[in-house]
């Protein structure tokens, strides 16, 4: 080989090396982003309270979610995710002699039945939470904290 033959080959490898370095930097940057995102998932301090105020605020959304899932489970054959539809799929799998599929779907059917019971229990618990929340007045506590001290740190009453 002559020197002129080696030149184009070495130029190609330097380009490949530059691309590899660029790819490594991208991967390292992506890994750093993932690590940073994981770090954000952890709380900065332990909880100071029991989260009652937040739970009272979320209760209506939780109630809607429970209702939505119950409607889906109680839906008919045309409703995806309904118990009736899954029962039909189990029957169809048994008729087609697909025992493994029928067993798998049967286990899912059992899980959906348990989910229905769990949702009823949660709905009852949520009713109790809503009743308790109705007796609380979180807004007064907020106003009370504001009214106790003014900007100079002195009592506003006098």
Residue, of 20 and 39, whose pLDDT is higher: 20
- In a domain? residue 113: yes
* Strand blocks (E) in the chain: none
Q: Number of folded domains in the chain?
A: 1
- In a domain? residue 39: no
What confidence score (pLDDT) does residue 155 get? 46
Residues ≥6 apart with Cβ < 8 Å to 93 = 99, 101, 102, 105
- In a domain? residue 90: yes
Q: How confident is the model at residue 46 (pLDDT cuts 50, 70, 90)?
A: confident
Tokens representing 31? 């890994």
- In a domain? residue 19: no
Residue, of 126 and 143, whose pLDDT is higher: 126
| Mean pLDDT within 18-47 | 71
| Mean pLDDT within 106-133 | 95
What is the rounded CA–CA span in Å between residue 4 and residue 15? 18
Using alpha carbons, select from 42, 48, 67 the residue that is nearest to residue 126: 67
Task: Give the global pTM.
Answer: 0.58
Residue 114: domain span: 52-135
- In a domain? residue 8: no
- In a domain? residue 37: no
């Amino acid at each position: 080989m002559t020197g002129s033959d080696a030149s184009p080959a070495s130029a190609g490898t330097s380009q490949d090396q530059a691309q590899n370095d660029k790819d490594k930097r991208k991967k390292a940057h992506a890994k750093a982003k993932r690590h940073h995102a994981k770090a954000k998932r952890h709380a900065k301090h332990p909880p100071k309270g029991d989260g009652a105020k937040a739970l009272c605020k979320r209760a209506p959304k939780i109630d809607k979610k429970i209702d939505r899932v119950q409607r889906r489970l109680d839906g008919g054959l045309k409703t995806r995710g309904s118990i009736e539809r899954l029962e039909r799929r189990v029957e169809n799998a048994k008729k087609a002699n697909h025992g493994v599929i029928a067993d798998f779907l049967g286990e899912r059917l059992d899980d959906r039945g348990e989910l229905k019971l769990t949702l009823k229990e949660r709905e009852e618990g949520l009713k109790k939470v809503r009743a308790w929340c109705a007796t609380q007045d979180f807004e007064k506590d907020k106003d009370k904290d504001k009214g106790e001290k003014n900007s100079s740190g002195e009592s506003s009453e006098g």
